[in-house]
Structure 1
Amino acid sequence: MQIVGWHVEMEFKEDGKRTEAAALLRLRDGTELRSHAHASRYPDDPDQPAVGEELAAARALTDLTRQLLDKAAGEIESSTSRPVHALA
């Protein structure tokens, strides 16, 4: 059995009521997938930066999931010449 790994980097920028997340996923074939997402705090909500980070990160990772599914489907289609619908 061969053990392989992928590397994910997540960065955040917080500006008052808005948290932005930038995600980078590096695959072992050299592909880099990038995603950006944000979360906004309502004026009446308490200031909890960790919650904004978690929401923004989850949204960015969800987009990376979609990108990975699209990449995998494209690779399967290339090798089989048949349409593929990779769903999460």
Structure 2
Amino acid sequence: MAHTSEWRMRLHLFEEERTTKAHVVLDTGTTTLTGHGVAHRNPADSDVPEIGDELAAGRALNDLGRQLVALAEHDVEGTAAGGAEREPRQNLGWAM
């Protein structure tokens, strides 16, 4: 059976002093997941905002990836046990 879908993702970056925070939201159409990441710059390091963005975004995406794998594992367990199709989940992740 052929299947095509589009998932939408938004990544927000916030920098304040030596801390960069990333907030990524994935909307699959049936599920919304939120990932977070933080990067802290050492006072002795050069001020290069792109590095903080890359670290915080990468950590947020890793967080999101872990959540996706956990969700898939949960769904596989439900399928293997003969469970019915899962109902849509909303707003999993950390509250903002």
Q: TM-score range by the shorter chain?
A: 0.7 to 0.9
Identify which of structures 1 and 2 has the higher relative contact order when contacts are C-alpha pairs closer than 8 Å and 6+ apart. Answer: 2
Matched residue of 2:9: which SS? strand
Unpaired runs of at least 5, structure 2: 83-96
1:1-88 maps to which residues of 2 (within 5 A)? 1-28=2-29, 30-81=30-81
Q: Which amino acid aligns with 2:52?
A: G
Matched residue of 2:74: which SS? helix
Count of residues in correspondence between the two structures: 81
TM-align CA RMSD: 1.5
1:1-60 per-position Cα deviation (integer Å, ceiling 9, x unaligned):
5532211110011001000000101113x2000011100000111111111010000001
Unpaired runs of at least 5, structure 1: 83-88
Report the TM-score when normalising by structure 2.
Answer: 0.78
